[in-house]
Chain A
């Protein structure tokens, strides 16, 4: 890489930056790599959402920054918006970035157990990003067969019209799975084996439990989809027909393979978000987490149940109605443990001395907004109601009321909370409040109209409603415009976050080791922690949530403090 134009000094400096930030085996650097890649992908995914929402609100008009949106462009945009936000934003940020950053720090060890496999995991992930982005520019354009990639639409180039994009997209997803399998094995092994001396099962902070249980869920559910991806790739490239009825295959099989992974996947991203919230609400209500063991066992119950509900995505795909009955029941059952978790969190807040810092606001908003997502899910979990709702915007609004709180709101909560640890400086709280309200209010203004539209029968797979006069009646188009304008407002307010994030990184107030006065081990290390994390590896003496213990002068009691 070095050229003769560089002086030796600058060359070695370049080499050291190269080594330090691109080929590091340090879990914190790898976590940051995942975080920044995820943020970059979120910008692409957000841009796609902006383009197709503009098309829906103002059909046939040129979109600023993109141009005219034709039907194929629209399919490519919605497909990749979905895929990017789930596979390249929610997964890398919630599991990989927070998991990598927090597990060794909070478990009190110096690194992941396999630092080089960790680095490999990120490199494969980066490769998957590059393959995905390349797929947008090949002949025929990016894949346009929806992020669920149902055959025959996804398998037959004559239907999806994106022969190259489809296969590249599938390859990118498969690479991404490999990256997270490697990462997941690292997470699980690290927490199982490398906890600080004295840290027993019930001394592990909830967020670590949840990230690791999520990794186990991922590992247990992704296998059939990897096999399915190979089969679909052969269908696309060799026209074999694993999923083609005319050749003896079955398209419903793909849907089963996909959702057997796809539903646990919801919990794979939900659990880390729940865990982040648990850390934040205990710290900012200065109270012990209510019923630690209940939370833990409820999490495990959610994990187990999440494998029994997948077919509720397929109620209108022609599955056996008797199975639909069973899956309706299991789907309704899974809302019980989640509700229980909500109640436990509210009980934690009850009677606490609550501080409305920015992370706390985001954590509370996560609980409130996710609640709406959960409640509307009950309509869709019942197969009879789902038959009406399934192809309407109601499903879309429900989905976003679960995933935006998970992948956006909870991530912001986590970022504001751990920013001082990551960069050694505080983020600006005033700007944080502006960003908070500028995110939450438009978010609700986007999706509440969509609930209403969905209930009114607005079909969700249409790119130009002018062709469907029945769906242009009354205020339906006005509601679409409200949603689009709210999206613009919400996207604009993310500029506040980006400004706050990058300016605080260099000019923020120095944070010190423990700015929030929290108990868990990451706050024992320097901010930001050096390579190796701790000067001497900590020993744990107590559970992680001992706040406001009676008879102590300070209201927190770090896990590593002897008495």
Chain B
């Protein structure tokens, strides 16, 4: 399946990966937060895609495999956003209490 690809191709991809690694290490040295995030996670995604495409040969694999892996990832994203509201606000202050004027006739305090 991949025997027609020369070893030099894999070595080239490896070189690119190392270059990206270097960028992601140097990113934080600028000490700008959004650049750090971009170089850290943007490059992680690119590296992962490169490994998946060229080393795992997902580009020439049957399509349904890619879809299955993506579906699993999607589940995790859904889980993340489904629980984010709760985990990010664990003190119970998730909503505003609306002030309500209780008529004196039904209020238990009178």
Residues of A within 8 A of B (CB): 220-221, 223-224, 245, 250, 252-253, 256, 260, 307-308, 310-311, 318-323
Contact = CB atoms under 8 A, between A and B. Distances in A.
Contacts of A318: 92
Contacts of B1: none
Interface residues of B, number: 16
Interface stretch (B2-10, B45-53, B71-79): B71-79
A9 to B, nearest CB: 52
Contacts of A250: 86-87, 90
Please name the 10 residue pairs, one residue from A and one from B, whose CB atoms are nearest each other, closest first. A256-B83, A320-B85, A320-B94, A250-B90, A252-B86, A319-B86, A220-B75, A323-B85, A260-B79, A250-B87
A209 to B, nearest CB: 16
28 contacts: A220-B75, A221-B75, A224-B76, A224-B79, A245-B90, A250-B86, A250-B87, A252-B86, A253-B83, A253-B86, A256-B82, A256-B86, A260-B79, A260-B83, A307-B75, A307-B78, A308-B78, A310-B82, A311-B82, A318-B92, A319-B85, A319-B86, A320-B86, A320-B94, A321-B95, A322-B85, A323-B82, A323-B85
A319 B85 CA distance: 8
B89 interface: yes
A258 to B, nearest CB: 11
B87 A252 contact: yes
A323 B82 CA distance: 8
A315 to B, nearest CB: 12
B108 to A, nearest CB: 20
A252 B90 CA distance: 8
B63 to A, nearest CB: 14
Contacts of B76: 223-224
Contacts of A319: 85-86
Interface in B56-104: 71-72, 75-76, 78-79, 82-83, 85-87, 89-90, 92, 94-95
B69 to A, nearest CB: 11
A269 B75 CA distance: 20
A307 B83 CA distance: 13
A307 B75 CA distance: 8
Contacts of B83: 253, 256, 260
Contacts of B82: 256, 260, 310-311, 323
A323 B78 contact: no
Contacts of B90: 245, 250, 252
A287 B68 CA distance: 35
Nearest to B68: A216
A308 B71 CA distance: 14
Nearest to B72: A220
Nearest to A319: B86
B4 to A, nearest CB: 26
A322 B95 contact: yes
Contacts of A308: 78
Contacts of A320: 85-86, 89, 94-95
A253 B85 CA distance: 11
A518 to B, nearest CB: 31
Contacts of B95: 320-322
Contacts of A307: 75, 78
B70 to A, nearest CB: 12
A240 B89 CA distance: 21
- Among B76, B83, B85, B95, the one with the most A-chain Cβ atoms within 10 Å of its Cβ is B83
- Among B75, B87, B95, the one with the most A-chain Cβ atoms within 10 Å of its Cβ is B75
A220 B76 CA distance: 9
B86 A323 contact: yes
Contacts of A321: 94-95
Contacts of B85: 319-320, 322-323
Given A250-B90, A311-B82, 10 more contacts: A220-B71, A245-B90, A252-B87, A252-B90, A253-B86, A253-B87, A310-B82, A320-B85, A320-B94, A323-B82
Contacts of B89: 320
Contacts of A322: 85, 94-95
Contacts of B75: 220-221, 307
A220 B79 CA distance: 11
A212 B48 CA distance: 30
B49 to A, nearest CB: 21
Contacts of A253: 83, 86-87
B90 to A, nearest CB: 5
Contacts of B86: 250, 252-253, 256, 319-320, 323
A417 to B, nearest CB: 32
A320 B88 CA distance: 11
Nearest to A310: B82
B61 to A, nearest CB: 14
A277 to B, nearest CB: 28
- Among A224, A311, A320, the one with the most B-chain Cβ atoms within 10 Å of its Cβ is A320
A193 to B, nearest CB: 12
